[in-house]
Amino acid sequence: MKQKSTSLFNIVVIVAALGYFVDIFDLLLFGMIRTSSLKDIGITTKEAIERYGLMLDNWQMTGMLVGGLFWGILGDKKGRLSVLFGSILTYSIANICNGFVKDVHVYAILRFAAGFGLAGELGAGVTMVNEVLDKEKRGLGTAFVAGTGILGAVVGGFVVKWLGDWRMCYFVGGGMGLMLLLLRIGVLESGMYDTMKKQDVKRGSLLLIFQKKERWTKYLAVILIAIPIWYIIQLYAKYSPELADGMGLIFSDTDRKAVPINAIMLAYFGLTLGDFACGLLSQKLKSRKKAIIIFMSMAITFIALFFIVGATNKYFFYAGITLLGFAGGYWAVFMSTAAESFGTNIRSTVTNTAPNFVRGAVVLINLMYEFFKYSMHFNSVYANIFVGIIVFTGGIWAWTKLEETFGKDLDYVEA
């Protein structure tokens, strides 16, 4: 096996971090330009913009679900590098094509294609980082990747404000992805994977995950633990205009246009700080589980405070979203837990499918939100709260089923 890297800032970690940066930039771009792009293609009322936006989100996240399965299995069968190259090429081309869209149905197909491509970036990068760094540094490596990558949303907000043209924003996102391909040329395959490939073991099989109750319970728990993060991103940041309306906040037309951009930037600024903080806390406590439950508890507390003081004015509203982003910053520790919980022969499958099932759970979050708002006739605030109760209940149950993976030896296979 190739010797593990002793440097935290080696080419694999840097390229994985930049790849996730572009991934997040492209993934969150639609949330920032949702209103302007839909208005430009003829959808103008507030309700239509919200409902078509939810529909397009669902298409994008369904693409991530399908892509997570495809890229995850490919990564275990053909290697991590095949995913790094194939996924970024797919979503870069898809996002460039998004810049030419004039019809909402074509828009939906292209968001599906973009989601399909985006699904492979994070899992492949985190798998390689965990396999090339020694066990004392791999948690910090994942935190660096996640923290750097999440800044993509902050930079995306500045780009959207600077360019002003939603079509140009898609061109920039796709172009950055194609430029990133050049950096990938110098990256070598994981030595741990190369060694495992020579063994006579089944690779990239979902059946291996579901053959044993202990294994599939752990897999389900890994997924459920992170869904509250995307509940925060989706209903507090991406759909912040609707939430602000429900809380009685009044924005001018100019300010309202900037609400989702500001909210996404601030939420992801908080997430960036949270990912670094949670990663360092995990290292200090020598525990993934303790760090996760501390941040989940903060998230529940901050949500309660948000609805108490967030309606006071727009500054408290934005401050609350920033704090919620920070509390949701256990994504890096979640990714480390996913990668560390399973053997080398299905590690890519898990680290690609688990985060994409989490992000794909946005479809269920949207459906629950629509049910409470449009079928039960709750306003945005109460619809939001009921969805939160459901996802945090699932997350806390999942936490009780997780194993502690800090310092675990990863050089093994699943039989």
- Rounded to the nearest 10 degrees, how much is the dihedral formed by the CA atoms of 7, 10, 14, 19? -120
* Mean pLDDT over each residue of the chain, to the nearest integer: 86
CA-closest candidate to residue 149, choices 127, 126, 178 = 126
The residue range of the domain holding 374 is 11-185+204-401
| pLDDT at residue 197, rounded to an integer | 57
Looking at per-residue pLDDT, the higher value among 255 and 389 belongs to: 389
- Average pLDDT on 155-178 reads 91
At 211, give phi and psi (nearest 5°): -70, -30
Total domain count, the chain: 1
Structure-block tokens of residue 198: 């020579």
Residue-by-residue DSSP string for 170-200: HHHHHHHHHHHHHHHTTPPPPHHHHHHHTSS
Q: What is the pLDDT of residues 10-21, one digit of tens each?
A: 778 888 888 888
Decide if 298 is inside a domain: yes
Instruction: Identify the residue whose tokens are 């090429």.
Output: 89
Q: What is the pLDDT of residues 196-237, one digit of tens each?
A: 555 556 655 677 888 888 889 999 999 999 999 999 999 999
Q: Does 195 score more than 70 pLDDT? A: no
Maximum distance among all alpha carbons in the chain?
64
**Residue 6: strand, helix, or coil:** coil
CA-closest candidate to residue 173, choices 56, 33, 53 = 33
Helices (H), 99-188: 104-118, 121-132, 138-163, 166-184
Q: Does 190 score more than 70 pLDDT? A: no
Instruction: List the CATH number of the domain containing 393.
Output: 1.20.1250.20
At 5, give phi and psi (nearest 5°): -70, 140
Decide if 3 is inside a domain: no
54-63, 125-134, 337-346, 397-406: which range is least confident on average?
Answer: 125-134
At 133, give phi and psi (nearest 5°): -95, 150
28-37, 202-211, 333-342: which range is least confident on average?
Answer: 202-211
100-109, 142-151, 279-288, 390-399: which range is least confident on average?
Answer: 142-151
Q: Does 6 score more than 70 pLDDT? A: no
Spatial separation of the C-alpha atoms in residues 97 and 27, rounded to whole Å? 15
| pLDDT at residue 3, rounded to an integer | 46
Decide if 73 is inside a domain: yes
CB-based contact 54:167 (threshold 8 Å)? no
Instruction: Identify the residue whose tokens are 């310092």.
Output: 407
Decide if 336 is inside a domain: yes
Radius of gyration for the alpha carbons in the chain, expressed in angstroms and rounded: 20
Looking at per-residue pLDDT, the higher value among 137 and 98 belongs to: 98
Decide if 330 is inside a domain: yes
CB-based contact 329:271 (threshold 8 Å)? yes
| pLDDT at residue 125, rounded to an integer | 78
Q: How confident is the model at residue 1 (pLDDT cuts 50, 70, 90)?
A: very low
Q: What is the pLDDT of residues 362-376, one digit of tens each?
A: 889 999 999 999 899
Q: How confident is the model at residue 2 (pLDDT cuts 50, 70, 90)?
A: very low
Instruction: Identify the residue whose tokens are 């809380």.
Output: 247
Spatial separation of the C-alpha atoms in residues 26 and 106, rounded to whole Å? 18
| pLDDT at residue 318, rounded to an integer | 94
Decide if 269 is inside a domain: yes
Decide if 84 is inside a domain: yes
CA-closest candidate to residue 206, choices 324, 332, 73 = 73
pTM: 0.80
Decide if 2 is inside a domain: no
